[in-house]
């Protein structure tokens, strides 16, 4: 789908088998400076509005606040948090103003590339993964009630997969907690690294083993993205399904 000298990427978003509209959105910068996946919620068209606002407003602020050729780590993290906080405030404001948009919100997962350092994080339960040396690692933490219960050792990770609060979030854009910072992982990319940003439509219909297998086997990131989406659909995902795949040459 796109490339710069050091990076190649692919992306796809589908409505899936069980939804009438697609509340997921992704955005990939043509210069490879940022990659975003958002999963909206709120019923009717409200979720779509929220995810659209996120992928529109966050890049505007990132471009205004970051010198992509040489900003320091602290100023990049501050800029990312300001960009996400701005989108959060606007989504909350629209939710107050428009009756049809009450309680709307969205997740966000991001990779921001500044001077060949990748800042990776999110709010909600859209995820970022890294495949490096044949090991798949989740770089984000779900802001879901089940993950909070797992951290508290109240339930096991196995229990979390089928828990009734699996999709209930305590942090997302559209709530006060959405502006509480992102604490992104910072990585210097290595040759052969493969990154995945995805909505929970991917993770609900696949396994980490399958994600690892597809990212390892496919040399074309667009083909990998399409295979991940098809696999999630065939695996019974009941949501919109979206992913961005980024390969380091």
Average per-residue pLDDT for the chain: 94
Contact 122, 128 (CB under 8 A): yes
When computed from its CA atoms, the radius of gyration of the chain, rounded to whole angstroms, is 17
Closest CA to 119 of 197, 55, 57: 197
Provide CB contacts within 8 A for 20, sequence distance 6+: none
pLDDT at 246 over 70: yes
Domain boundaries, the chain: 2-248
Q: What is the mean pLDDT of residues 89-95?
A: 95
Q: What is the pLDDT of residues 146-201, one digit of tens each?
A: 999 999 999 998 888 888 887 899 999 999 999 999 999 999 999 999 999 999 99
User: What CATH architecture applies to the domain 2-248?
Assistant: 4-Layer Sandwich (3.60)
User: Whole-angstrom Cα distance, residue 172 to residue 165?
Assistant: 15
pLDDT at 3 over 80: no
Percent above pLDDT 90 for the chain: 84
Helix segments in the chain, DSSP class H = 46-65, 73-97, 145-151, 157-160, 200-203, 208-217, 221-234
């Amino acid at each position: 789908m796109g490339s710069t000298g050091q990076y190649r990427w692919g992306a796809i978003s589908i409505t899936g088998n069980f939804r009438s509209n697609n509340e997921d959105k992704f955005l990939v910068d043509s210069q490879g400076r940022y990659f975003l996946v958002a999963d909206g919620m709120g019923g009717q068209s409200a979720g779509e509005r929220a995810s659209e606002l996120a992928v529109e407003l966050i890049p505007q602020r990132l471009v205004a606040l970051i010198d992509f050729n040489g900003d320091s780590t602290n100023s990049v993290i501050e800029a990312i948090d300001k960009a996400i906080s701005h989108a959060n405030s606007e989504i909350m404001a629209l939710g107050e103003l428009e009756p049809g948009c009450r309680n709307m919100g969205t997740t966000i997962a991001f990779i921001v590339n500044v001077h060949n350092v990748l800042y990776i994080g999110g709010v909600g339960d859209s995820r970022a993964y890294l495949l490096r040396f044949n090991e798949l690692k989740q770089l984000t933490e779900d802001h879901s009630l089940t993950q909070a219960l797992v951290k508290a050792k109240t339930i096991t990770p196995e229990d979390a997969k089928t828990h009734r609060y699996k999709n209930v979030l305590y942090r997302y854009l559209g709530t006060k907690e959405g502006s509480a910072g992102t604490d992104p992982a910072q990585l210097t990319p290595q040759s052969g690294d493969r990154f995945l940003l995805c909505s929970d439509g991917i993770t609900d219909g696949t396994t980490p083993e399958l994600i690892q297998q597809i990212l390892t086997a496919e040399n074309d990131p667009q083909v990998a993205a399409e295979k991940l989406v098809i696999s999630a659909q065939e695996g019974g995902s009941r949501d919109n399904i979206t992913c961005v795949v980024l390969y380091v040459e």
